[in-house]
């Protein structure tokens, strides 16, 4: 009996589906990566017929893929697509979805692996999962011949440790771990994966990737845009839940991990988990000195944002790891909306050489700056190195040389979703978050929420399109360091 794949996409009229998933599906087909076209059941709350839905996504795909759009590819995708509107609370919706899937099995004369993709705000997760279970659409795999279900679920998984654990209980009562694909699209990004190549394939990098040589590490995810039309999602979520708990801690794990035995799913996930386990918790009383939160001016006037909202749109934090490799090396993390520019970058700042030995100084100390190895994730992606060199002219004055190998802004964001969809179809979980990673990162973040609740540190206002509150500079300047963006 032939096998094929079906996607049941909840949240089919949402931002994520429209701007990321559909363009990713389009590219996968256009580039010949999905030879067996999956059957796609799109589920959304908005009432519309299939023609209207097609137009809705087609416009977004054309906008995204530009001149690469061809009608024949689009039509082939649409031949395998259905749209079904309904409320997620309504059991009838699931009965209809089930019969659509059954009909298709009869048409194709085969069994389908169903991928349930929850591209919806997390408040709907439990409702959808319970209804899927009641409709007998999901259940733990019991035998190789049974049509099996898989779950693709977007972050944030919960709001804190307790809600995340509750959600994990629901999910794990319905799916075995190998059926669950927790998406953190930063794991799908080429440059994040490139950290592994950079570290483990270069004789000059890995030997110096430790506290003997590194002074500190910075991880930044800065966005020029404010919350725009996403106020309803973002308000009450905030920067810590939206990107620190997941994307930024995942980047940290890639930087901080020990060498995995291999790059297979089990070993790579284990290495990330060990790194997160080594993260020193920020105790409730240390939150005011180690974490800075801010909100851009004008945020409370954004659509669907509470006028008295205390949601943070900026957060900077200083963290440390309890391993021999990283003992004494602070990691500074900074993220914000409505920043001066959009850039995601990791930088490793090397210790300065000893230019002064006793009374003899080869170079005047202030001229010597730290070497920096920068890994740019967006908008362009690549690697940069700050070295010291001689200023042209008489004397031996120094200047910085910024060497870099950057690729132009490209399809890196879409590529992340393409890669993840493809990996899920192949059953490769390497680039998906394991339940233990999610748990550890919530454990760490929840202590910060607790510190905010009990210690009530200030929520600093900052001007839109700046680098955030001054207090975030203070976090580094007290350690005689400063924020760095390569070549900016
Ligand atoms: C998402 C967050 O997960 O990541 C958004 O919900 C954020 O708020 C986005 O803008 C950043 O991703 P990227 O790929 O644009 O850097």
Structure tokens at 315: 């957060």
The kind and range of the H/E element at 314 are: strand 314-319
Residue 342 CA, closest ligand 1 atom number:
16
Indicate which residue's Cα is closest to atom 6 of ligand 1. 242
Does the beta carbon of 378 lie inside 6 Å of ligand 1? yes
- Among protein residues, the one whose CA lies closest to atom 11 of ligand 1: 243
Domains, the chain, in order of start with CATH, read: 2-154 (3.40.50.720), 187-477 (3.30.360.10)
Residue 141: per-residue pLDDT? 58
For residue 281, the 8-state DSSP code is P
State whether the beta carbon of 18 lies less than 6 angstroms from ligand 1.
no
Phi first, then psi, for residue 446 (nearest 5°) are -65, -35
pTM greater than 0.95: no
pLDDT for 62 equals 95
Distance of alpha carbon 250 from alpha carbon 246, whole angstroms:
6
From the CA of 243, how far away is ligand 1's center (Å)? Answer: 7
Q: Give the span between the Cα atoms of 185 and 100, in whole angstroms.
A: 30
- Within its chain, how far is the Cα of 169 from the centroid? 23
Secondary element (H or E) of residue 222: strand 214-222
Three-state secondary structure call for residue 204? coil
Spatial distance between the Cα atoms of 469 and 295, rounded to a whole number of angstroms: 9
Is 251 touching ligand 1 by the criterion CB < 6 Å? Answer: no
**Closest to 470 in 3D by CA, of 312, 461, 317, 244:** 461
Q: Which of 19, 185, 247, 349 is catalytic?
A: 247
Helix spans in 179-248 (H) = 190-200, 231-234, 238-239
**Contacts with 143 (C-beta within 8 Å, 6 or more apart), sequence order:** none
* 3-state secondary structure at position 329: coil
Between vectors from CA 110 to CA 105 and to CA 114, what angle results, nearest 5°?
65
Q: Which residues contact 169 (CB under 8 A, 6 or more apart)?
A: none
Which pLDDT belongs to residue 413? Answer: 46
| CB of 418 sitting under 6 A from ligand 1 | no
Atom number of ligand 1 nearest to Cα 413 = 14
- To test the ligand 1 pocket, which listed residue (187, 242, 337, 409) has its Cβ within 8 A of the most ligand atoms? 242
Q: What is the pLDDT of residue 260?
A: 95
Which atom of ligand 1 is least distant from the CA of 412?
Answer: 14
For residues 259 and 271, give the distance between their C-alpha atoms in angstroms, rounded to a whole number. 7
Residue 432 Cα to chain centre, angstroms: 10
Q: What's the count of helices (H) and strands (E) in the chain, helices before strands? A: 16, 17
Q: Which contacts of 280-284 are long-range, i.e. CB under 8 A and separated by 24 or more positions?
A: 280/319, 280/320, 280/321, 280/322, 281/443, 281/444, 281/447, 282/317, 282/319, 282/444, 282/447, 282/448, 282/451, 283/447, 283/451, 284/447, 284/450, 284/451, 284/454, 284/455
Pairing of strands 39-44, 2-10: parallel
Which atom of ligand 1 lies at the shortest distance from residue 225's CA?
A: 10
Residue 43's pLDDT is what? 97
Instruction: Establish whether 465 is a catalytic residue.
Output: no
Q: Hey, what are 99's tokens?
A: 């019969």
Please answer whether residues 287 and 457 qualify as being in contact, where contact means their C-beta atoms are separated by less than 8 angstroms.
yes
Mean pLDDT by runs of 10 across the 488 residues of the chain is 89 92 94 90 94 94 92 94 96 97 92 94 93 89 61 93 95 92 92 90 95 98 95 93 97 97 94 98 97 98 97 98 98 98 97 85 85 92 91 89 75 75 93 95 97 98 98 97 89
**Under 8 Å between Cβ of 284 and 450:** yes
Contacts of 304 (CB under 8 A, 6+ apart): 231, 232, 235
Q: How far apart are CA 228 and CA 461, in angstroms?
A: 18
> What is the phi-psi region of residue 454: left when phi exceeds 0, alpha when psi lies from -120 to 50, beta otherwise?
alpha
> What's the pLDDT score for residue 415?
82
- Torsion sign across C-alpha atoms 40, 41, 46, 52: positive
Q: CA-to-CA distance for 160 and 192, rounded, in angstroms?
A: 25
Kindly state if the Cβ of 414 falls inside 6 Å of ligand 1: no
């Amino acid at each position: 009996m032939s096998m094929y794949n079906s996607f049941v996409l909840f949240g089919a009229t949402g931002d994520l589906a429209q701007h990321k998933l559909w363009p990713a599906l389009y590219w996968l087909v256009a580039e010949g990566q999905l030879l067996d076209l999956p059957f796609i059941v799109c589920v959304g709350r908005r009432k519309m017929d299939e023609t209207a839905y097609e137009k809705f996504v087609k416009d977004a795909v054309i906008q995204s893929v530009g001149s690469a759009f061809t009608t024949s590819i689009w039509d082939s995708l649409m031949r395998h697509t259905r749209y079904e509107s309904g409320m997620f609370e309504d059991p009838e919706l699931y009965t209809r979805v089930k019969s659509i899937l059954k009909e298709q099995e009869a048409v194709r004369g085969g069994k389908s692996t169903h991928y349930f993709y929850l591209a919806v705000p997390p408040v709907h997760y439990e409702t959808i999962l319970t209804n899927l279970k009641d409709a007998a659409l999901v259940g733990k795999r019991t035998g190789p011949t049974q049509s099996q279900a898989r779950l693709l679920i977007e972050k944030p998984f919960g709001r804190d440790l307790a809600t995340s654990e509750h959600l994990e209980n629901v999910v794990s009562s319905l799916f075995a771990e190998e059926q669950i694909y927790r998406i953190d699209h930063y794991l799908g990004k080429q440059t994040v994966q490139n950290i592994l190549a950079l570290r483990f394939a270069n004789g000059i990098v890995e030997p110096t990737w430790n506290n003997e040589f590194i002074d500190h590490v910075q991880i930044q995810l800065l966005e020029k845009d404010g919350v725009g039309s996403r106020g309803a999602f973002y308000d009450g979520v905030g920067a810590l839940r939206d990107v620190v708990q997941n994307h930024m801690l995942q980047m940290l794990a890639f930087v901080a991990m020990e060498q995995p035995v291999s790059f297979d799913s089990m070993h790579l996930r284990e290495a990330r988990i060990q790194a997160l386990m080594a993260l020193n918790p920020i105790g409730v009383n240390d939150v005011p000195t180690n974490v800075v939160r801010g909100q851009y001016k004008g945020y409370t006037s954004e659509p669907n944002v509470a006028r008295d909202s205390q949601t943070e749109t900026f957060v900077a934090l200083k963290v440390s790891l309890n391993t021999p490799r990283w003992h004494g090396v602070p990691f500074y993390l900074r993220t914000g909306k409505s920043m001066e520019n959009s850039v995601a970058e990791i930088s490793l700042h090397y210790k300065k050489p000893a230019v002064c030995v006793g009374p003899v100084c080869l170079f005047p100390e202030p001229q010597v700056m730290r070497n920096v190895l920068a890994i740019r994730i967006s908008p362009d992606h690549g690697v940069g190195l700050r070295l010291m060199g001689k200023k042209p002219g008489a004397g031996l004055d120094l200047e910085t040389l910024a060497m870099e190998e950057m690729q132009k802004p490209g399809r890196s964001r879409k590529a992340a979703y393409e890669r993840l969809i493809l990996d899920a179809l192949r059953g490769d979980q390497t680039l998906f978050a394991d339940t233990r990673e999610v748990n550890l990162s919530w454990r760490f973040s929840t202590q910060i929420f607790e510190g905010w609740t009990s210690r009530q540190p200030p929520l600093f206002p900052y001007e839109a399109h700046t680098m955030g509150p001054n207090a975030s500079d203070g976090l580094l300047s007290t350690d005689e360091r400063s924020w760095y963006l390569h070549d900016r």
